[in-house]
């Protein structure tokens, strides 16, 4: 039991850092920082927007790609557990598809059968404002009404996803 306390301490710190540990997850941004907003998003619903234009709203950017199996696992949860219950409360959810053509993004959106819009990021320029370009997708960036980053996720983990839902709910009116 010589390693009991240090091991317990390490595990507690690791769990506390879930969703917020940026350095080993490839993030360039941090919780509490203003989100980069100097880009526009062409959405699958035919509109164009930007984070700057969405200031005053709660925004969830989900970085995804059609080839990503973990993204495909997470998307139905985003649709059912966050988008459907929270869109009427003012949430903006956008799937930002990294490194794929507009045609691929449109096909992927149709195939996934979700109501929230996707946007194309063919050169990963948007992704590269939030994470290292070599880092993987299936990540969510939750941004509050003031434009500050509130929560970051990586991959799909049910416990971390549950915390994301709590964070979204805390930012939206009842």
Domain residue ranges in the chain = 4-171
Residue 150: per-residue pLDDT: 98
Q: Provide the residue-wise pLDDT of the chain in tens; the chain has 174 residues.
A: 455 544 443 444 344 444 444 456 899 999 999 999 999 999 999 999 999 999 999 999 999 999 999 999 999 999 999 999 999 999 999 999 999 999 999 999 999 999 999 999 999 999 999 999 899 999 999 999 999 999 999 999 999 999 999 999 999 998
Cβ pair 156, 148 in contact under 8 A = no
Question: Which residues, in sequence order, are bridge partners of residue 139?
Answer: 63, 154
Place of tokens 């950017």: 61
Residue 114: per-residue pLDDT: 97
| 67-102 pLDDT, tens digit each | 999 999 999 999 999 999 999 999 999 999 999 999
Residue 135: per-residue pLDDT: 92
**CATH of 4-171 among 3.40.50.150, 3.40.50.2000, 3.40.30.10, 3.40.1190.20:** 3.40.30.10
Residue 174: per-residue pLDDT: 81
Residue 31 backbone dihedrals phi, psi, to 5 degrees: -60, 135
């Amino acid at each position: 039991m010589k390693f009991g306390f240090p091991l317990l301490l390490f595990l507690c710190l690791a769990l506390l850092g879930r969703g917020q540990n940026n350095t080993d997850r490839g993030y360039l941004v941090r919780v509490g920082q203003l989100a980069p907003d100097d880009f526009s998003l062409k959405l699958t619903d035919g509109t164009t927007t930007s984070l700057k234009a969405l200031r005053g709203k709660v925004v969830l950017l989900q970085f995804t790609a059609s080839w990503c199996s973990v993204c495909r696992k997470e998307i139905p949860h985003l649709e059912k557990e966050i988008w459907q219950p929270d869109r009427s409360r003012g949430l903006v959810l956008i799937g930002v598809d990294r490194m794929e053509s507009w045609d691929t993004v449109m096909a992927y959106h149709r195939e996934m059968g979700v109501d929230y819009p996707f946007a194309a990021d063919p050169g990963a320029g948007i992704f590269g404002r939030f994470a290292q370009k070599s880092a993987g997708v299936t990540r969510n960036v939750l941004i509050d009404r003031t434009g500050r980053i509130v929560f970051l996720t990586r991959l799909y983990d049910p416990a971390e996803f549950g915390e994301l839902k709590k964070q979204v709910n805390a930012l939206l009116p009842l």
